[in-house]
Amino acid sequence: MECPVPVSRKTNRKISFLSNRVRRLLKSGSMRGFTLVELAIVLIIVGLLIGVGANMVGPLTKRVKLNESRDDLNKAKEAVVSFSMSRGRLPCPDVNNDGLEDLTGAVCTACPNPPCRFPNVTLNIKGTDAWQSFLRYDAVDTLTPTTINSQNYCVALYETINNAGIGANTILPIVTNTADPDDNQITTAGNGYTVAAVIISTGEDVTLTGKNSNNNREYEMASNPFDDVVRNDLVMDIPLGELMGKGCNSSNTVLKVYIPAARSAKIPSGSGTCLDGGAAVFAYLPLNSNVDYWNAIGCPAAPTATYTFQTLATTDWNGPAGTRRNGEVNANNTDH
């Protein structure tokens, strides 16, 4: 048999005081309950608050994920820019969905249905958006070959900028506004521009929409209207001029000049060193410089010709419209 727990006199006095207090309140009528009308009003108010809150959850969640995905795209862009500055070229897209860039020889493996997957493993960065969908990626062909390096990267970039035309001479990929038709080219000047690269989040529906979905290399401009029907993708482009401004100047914008076999050259013109040609003989030449060229080895007597390699806006080594030399040229001003 359990013994009763002793209660102190102090505790008894507290219990007695509370009991008397409750008894007086009941007698005075100050603790009356809610009426049915009051309860109904309270329930209506609570229901309205719950309804408003429930309706706000969806839009707020979407906004949070949109902001998170924009942050993912910004980080992906920074990773691409850092790669280009350190490697002297842009990373290739991931074609086989393993997160690694895919190369066939010295050039990117062709993406069958662009845009392909972002090469996040190569760049050592997260490769998905807030909806856990893989980011998509495309990059300009003139800046991705492994023959581009830190020496001739800037001149290849400079050449791409100056050759980025419209119509049949459009260099892909491009981003265009809503006035430009989806025809894989810039139809009218001012409707779009060639980009170094584009990175895309498929958004809430995890599906490419608008121009991004047509398996060509024309994409929606980031400023195009965003909605849930025509386009709900997030687009981040990397302008050619931004790359040029971040890593290039007059001293590192140089051209890789090859000397053909059985020929010779002085690079730059008037230099004391004569270079006899061969399969892999080349020298780097700053823009706005000359090359003395001979149709024989040993640089005998007067040069056969002196070529001025100026800016890409000239016809000197720019070639016909649409020609892109990727920062490489032969000393006799022919395509390498």
pLDDT, one tens digit per residue, over 242-290 is 998 888 877 778 888 889 999 999 998 887 789 999 988 988 888 778 8
pLDDT greater than 70 at residue 28:
no
Question: How big, in percent rounded to 5, are the helix, strand and coil portions of the chain?
Answer: 30, 20, 50
List pLDDT tens digits, range 77-108: 999 999 999 999 999 999 999 999 999 999 99
On the CB side of 237, how many CA atoms lie within 13 Å of its CA?
23
Whether the pLDDT of residue 220 is over 90: the answer is yes
* Secondary structure E strands in the chain: 103-104, 107-108, 116-117, 136-139, 174-176, 192-201, 218-220, 234-239, 254-258, 264-266, 275-276, 282-286, 289-294, 305-309, 328-330
| Per-residue pLDDT tens over the stretch 131-163 | 999 999 999 998 999 888 888 888 888 878 877
User: Average per-residue pLDDT in the chain?
Assistant: 83
**Positive or negative CA dihedral for 76, 81, 85, 90?**
positive
Which residue type, as a one-letter code, is found at position 294? W
pLDDT, residue 319, reads 46
Q: Quick check: pTM over 0.75? A: no
Judged against a pLDDT cut of 50, whether residue 218 lies above it is answered with yes
In order of 73, 125, 132, 322, the CA distances from 79 in angstroms are 10, 8, 19, 29
**pLDDT on residue 316:** 40
pLDDT on residue 298: 94
Mean pLDDT over residues 27-31, rounded? 56
Q: Which two tokens stand for residue 134?
A: 């893989």
- Altogether, the residues listed in the chain come to a count of 336
pLDDT-derived band at 313, boundaries 50, 70, 90:
very low
Give the rounded distance of the alpha carbon of 253 from its chain centre. Answer: 24
Walk across the sheet containing 328-330 and list its strands: 282-286, 254-258, 328-330
Rounded Cα distance, 181 and 334, in Å: 36
Q: Whose CA is closest to 295, among 267, 263, 258?
A: 263
Instruction: Select the highest-mean-pLDDT range: 32-41, 114-123, 220-229.
Output: 114-123
pLDDT > 70? residue 47 = yes
| Residue 191: per-residue pLDDT | 94
Give percent of the chain above pLDDT 70.
80
Cis peptide before 320 (omega within 30 of 0): no
Count Cβ atoms within 10 A of the Cβ of residue 128 and give its class: 0-12 exposed, 13-18 middle, 19 or more buried.
middle
Contact assessment for residue 331 and residue 292, using Cβ atoms and an 8 Å cutoff: no
Among 34-38, 88-92, 219-223, 243-247, the range scoring the smallest mean pLDDT is 34-38
Given a cut of 80, whether residue 179 has pLDDT beyond it is: yes
Q: Are 167 and 102 in contact (CB under 8 A)?
A: no
Distance CA 126, CA 118 (A): 10
Give the model's pLDDT for residue 321: 47
Q: For residue 19, is pLDDT > 50?
A: yes
